[in-house]
Amino acid sequence: MAILPIRIWGDPVLQSLAQPVTEITEEIRALVANMFETMDAAPGVGLAAPQVGVPLRIYTYTYFDDDDEPWRGHILNPELWMEPIAPGDPDPATEAEGCLSFPEHKFPLRRADHVRVSGTNLDGQEVSIDVRGWRARIMQHEFDHLNGIVYIQRLIEPYTAQTLSIIEESGWGVPELSWTPEA
Ligand code: ZN
């Protein structure tokens, strides 16, 4: 297994439509294993294949809260249903989201509280996920990545302006930038 470089905002793969996985090969298995290792090393609660430069419809996720078992998995070719997003502005205290492709920053974003995701796993079995709250947020965030959407594109002001300043100051927004988590 290996920790993979994570593409940073500006790389075209992050804004491209990822393609369905048509065959589960050894390469795909290795990719998913490496995505888990990379996500854990970052650390992050989710990682989509485009973030490691692979334009395929795959993501991994992991989330721990106080009173639950660790929640972890991967999904291929997901489809997503979500309930309508509640109106109003996002709460910076409880709805701040981050992304490994826009590292070391968080911005408030309103998301649907409840989603259902279906797809398959590496064994070709059907996977069906029905979650709320932060888990639902993670599903929406990772699913977005497969459609070429990074969460900063969904922000409202003043957060959009803040991201533009960060991009300029950091020299992001150009192709082939990446960072690699430490083991
Ligand atoms: Zn992300």
Q: Where are the domains of the chain?
A: 6-171
Residue 14 tokens, joined = 């992050």
H/E segment holding residue 7: strand 6-7
Is pLDDT of 118 > 80?
yes
Name every residue whose Cβ is closer than 8 Å to that of residue 164 and which is 6 or more positions away in sequence: none
- What would the mean pLDDT of 72-93 be, rounded to a whole number? 97
Task: Compute the distance between CA of residue 79 and CA of residue 116 in angstroms, rounded to an integer.
Answer: 8
Length of the chain: 183
H/E segment holding residue 81: strand 71-82
**Predicted local distance difference test score (pLDDT) of residue 139:** 98
Q: Domain 6-171 carries which CATH code? A: 3.90.45.10
At 161 the three-state DSSP class reads helix
Task: Compute the distance between CA of residue 73 and CA of residue 18 in angstroms, rounded to an integer.
Answer: 19
Over the chain, what is the mean pLDDT?
A: 96
**Predicted local distance difference test score (pLDDT) of residue 183:** 85
Confidence of residue 1 (pLDDT cuts 50, 70, 90): confident
Cα-to-centroid distance, 98 and ligand 1 (Å) = 7
- What would the mean pLDDT of 3-28 be, rounded to a whole number? 98
Cα-to-centroid distance, 170 and ligand 1 (Å) = 18
Task: Compute the distance between CA of residue 61 and CA of residue 140 in angstroms, rounded to an integer.
Answer: 11
Cα-to-centroid distance, 115 and ligand 1 (Å) = 17
**Positions marked active-site:** 142
Confidence of residue 69 (pLDDT cuts 50, 70, 90): confident
Is pLDDT of 107 > 80?
yes
Residue 151 tokens, joined = 């969460």
Under DSSP, the state recorded for 83 is: P
